[in-house]
Amino acid sequence: MSVYRVKSCWIHCFLQMKEKSFSCDRATMQWSLFLLLLMGQCVFITCQLYEYHFIKEQMSWDEARAYCRENYTDLAKVFDLTDMRRLQDSAQSQTEAWIGLYSEPGRDNRRWHWSLPGEEYTENKTCWGTGEPNDRPYPENCVRKKDKWADAPCTHTFPFICYDETMKDNKTFHLIGEMKTWTQAQSYCRQHHTDLASGLDQIYSEEFKELLNSKASKVNLWIGLFRDTWRWSDGSNFSFRYWDMDSFNDGLNNRTCATTLLERSGRWSSAGCDQRKPFFCYDVKLDQTSGLICS
């Protein structure tokens, strides 16, 4: 658990160090890591570790949030799959329970996110094609890439590229030729690799380009960029989503609070916020992991 936390701190630390400017042809992230290691720097890291609490009492989403805010920090937020496992481990029954994710439906409330946890979306680190994203036909909430990017309905099917942080078969990127919807592609990548390829550092890296040149330079591929109207109760902009395929709805209906289906491997669904359910809170344990990391 603490190993994971250190890793996620690394990610945050990393993001802060990344250069501000970026061109679509250069991968600066690997470069800055290389420089950091070369200079033999040490980094002092203090982490906020958070803990999940399962509350059996059934409440509406708003009541649950008030309860969590008074007695802990807030309704539970989830940074990645490792957090999700921890959340499930803290459950005391296999039902459906609220988490701190809610939706503000509406076309203008959507925000872009990278699928890979910790990769932050910023406007000027994008490679949209001319006139894109055009959101026609509304809603186009997922992104396909040929040379440049275009938004597309998430229900369309394309081949896709997975990112693999463990370098399975010595490869960082894996081109999957099967046609899948965006959510199916995301699920496939998380199951077999790490996630859909996310962020300019990955998508414009040499290895990624080589893969495309050799195999798929002229076809549309899903990348790990999507937009939705979901927000975390405490204001975090965590991009991790874990929707159950059957109940995934693109945030277009009026069930605007999220639950975790503990009996269905924890995947998320949406429900009317007035329903009464058990829920998860989190609280912050300050300075539980801190330490010096040297290259």
Ligand X SMILES: *[C@@H]1O[C@H](CO)[C@@H](O)[C@H](O)[C@H]1NC(C)=O
For ligand X, the closer of residues 92 and 237 by Cβ is 237
Q: How far is the CB of 293 from ligand X (least distance, A)?
A: 20
Write the interaction track for ligand X spanning residues 183-222; mark x where CB under 6 A is met and - where it is not. Answer: ----------------------------------------
**255: Cβ contacts below 8 Å, ≥ 6 apart:** 249, 270, 271, 272, 273
Instruction: Please report, for residues 52, 68, 110, 259, the alpha-carbon distance to residue 61 in angstroms, rounded to integers and kept in the order given.
Output: 17, 10, 21, 10
- Residue 67, H or E segment: helix 61-71
Residue range at the interface with ligand X (CB under 6 A); choices 39-47, 63-71, 89-97, 172-180: 63-71
Write the interaction track for ligand X spanning residues 121-160; mark x where CB under 6 A is met and - where it is not. Answer: --xx------------------------------------
Q: How far is the CB of 147 from ligand X (least distance, A)?
A: 21
48 binds ligand X (CB under 6 A): no
Locate 190 and state its tokens.
């998380």
- Alpha-carbon span 198 to 120, nearest angstrom: 9
23 binds ligand X (CB under 6 A): no
254 binds ligand X (CB under 6 A): yes
> How many residues at the interface with ligand X, by CB under 6 A?
15
89 binds ligand X (CB under 6 A): no
Report DSSP letters for 166-233, one per residue: T-GGG-SEEEEEEEE-HHHHHHHHHHHSSEE--SHHHHTSHHHHHHHHHHTTTS-EEEEEEEESEEET
Is there a cis peptide before residue 105, judged by omega within 30 degrees of 0? no
Q: How far is the CB of 272 from ligand X (least distance, A)?
A: 5
Cβ-contact 52, 74 below 8 angstroms: no
16 binds ligand X (CB under 6 A): no
20 binds ligand X (CB under 6 A): yes
Among 170, 191, 213, 214, binds ligand X (CB under 6 A): 170
Q: Within 10 A of 196 (CB to CB), how many other CB atoms are there?
A: 29
Q: How far is the CB of 265 from ligand X (least distance, A)?
A: 27
Residue 43 β-bridge partners: 293
Cβ-contact 7, 182 below 8 angstroms: no
Residue range at the interface with ligand X (CB under 6 A); choices 44-52, 64-72, 147-155, 181-189: 64-72
Write the interaction track for ligand X spanning residues 101-120; mark x where CB under 6 A is met and - where it is not. Answer: -------------------x
253 binds ligand X (CB under 6 A): yes
Percent helix, strand, coil in the chain, to 5, is 25, 35, 40
List contacts with ligand X (CB under 6 A). Answer: 20-21, 66-67, 70-71, 120, 123-124, 169-170, 237, 253-254, 272
